[in-house]
Amino acid sequence: MPNLGKLVKQATRMQQQMEQVQAQLAVRTVESSSGGGAVKVTARCDGTVASIQINPQALNPDDVQLLEEMILTGVNQALNQARNIANTEMGKITAGMNLPGLM
């Protein structure tokens, strides 16, 4: 049976590292665009959207559905990129850890 004290120290260290990474992810951003650059989305790697920029030329009152689709596409792409980065960074912390019950 593994040393309980060693496991507690390892878990505490991992928790501290995770908190640091989460703080870094909250300010790290990714960008995505859709519609040939008509819509640009900036997302934080903590899963929040920081900004959406729409080229005024993309504003066509007769085709609101197209603009909505471009915004949705841009947001989904940006959040997917952010999620991938977050998963990679968090995976670095737990890589090689053999903590019972986690895997």
How far is C-alpha 101 from the chain's CA centre?
26
Give 11-38 pLDDT, tens digit per residue: 888 889 889 999 999 999 999 999 999 9
What pLDDT, on a 0 to 100 scale, did the predictor assign at position 9? 87
- Two structure tokens written together for 6: 């060693």
What is the identity of the amino acid at 80? N
Q: Which residue has the tokens 């995505």?
A: 32
Nearest CA among 42, 12, 19, 14 for reference residue 29: 42
**Is 3.30.1310.10 the CATH number for 4-94?**
yes
pLDDT in tens, 62-87: 999 999 999 999 999 999 999 999 99
Cα separation of 71 and 21, whole Å?
29
**Domain assignments of the chain as residue spans, ordered by start:** 4-94
